[in-house]
A and B are shown apart, each in its own frame.
Chain A
């Protein structure tokens, strides 16, 4: 199920914990399967599945009074001791710091566009935002990221 990987990454971006995200995704797949009769009427199955995932994640957060755990999961994205990996790891840390300062919906806009390559329209539908709000959110996040990249280039620091 290739869609499950996409769903997993989205759940992981919200929950920041791989095991929890995997559990939530398994529940989402059950829900999607139970509602499969509706599929022919659904225009964008991707957005529909992502919306179910989002609801499931926030239900989990509510039930478990979730607090963001740690960066350890994100750091597992890069392994190895090469300069390249260390460099990428640094990027990851500051990027994560920037994203953490953003409202949750803006973090999700960033993930859905930059990681999942979703259209503005689909993102707006998933998050219940207008097209303009999605574009502005992404533009502001990118501006913050660019500023940080310039700092890193000019001074070699990420903070």
Chain B
């Protein structure tokens, strides 16, 4: 093997080697423990030929794709969300009133209901005020 390598080395410096022979030299010296400067040179060429980029390059034609299970989950959530919104809109349609008179009546009833609720609330506040006055009298 050694003599074969020597022979290829001579051919290399004479500029007569093929790519395959040059690869033989680089591979041989990259596995060899020799500290000989020529060995170091070929070792370096081998190392340089496997130098990796510091980053992973983005494929320009590949779009971002989710894993299949994520895509399925996203579709499921989409369908369920759509169905829910459709159901809600159907419910709202039930309250749609075309007749203005009827609409006025419904609004009036709703406002009355709010008003009665407000009155009840005010009554409670009155009671609280009385309680506060009593507390102040006692504390004096």
Interface size on B, residues (CB 8 A): 29
Give the docked Cα–Cα distance between A113 and B65 (Å).
39
Residues of chain A from 1 to 33 with CB closer than 8 A to chain B in the complex? 1, 4-5, 8-9, 12, 18-19, 21-22, 25-26, 29-30, 32-33
Chain B neighbourhood of A145, CB < 8 A: 41
- Identify which of A4, A22, A116, A152 contacts B49 (C-beta below 8 A): A116
Interface size on A, residues (CB 8 A): 45
Contact A91 B22, beta carbon cutoff 8 Å: no
Chain A neighbourhood of B19, CB < 8 A: 117-119
- Identify which of B13, B40, B52, B58 contacts A91 (C-beta below 8 A): B40
Task: Return B28 CB to nearest CB of chain A, in Å.
Answer: 15
**Tally of A-B Cβ pairs under 8 angstroms:** 90
Contact B53 A138, beta carbon cutoff 8 Å: no
- Identify which of A1, A5, A22 contacts B59 (C-beta below 8 A): A1
Q: Is A84 in the interface zone, CB < 8 Å from B?
A: yes
Give the docked Cα–Cα distance between A96 and B108 (Å).
91
Q: Is A105 in the interface zone, CB < 8 Å from B?
A: no
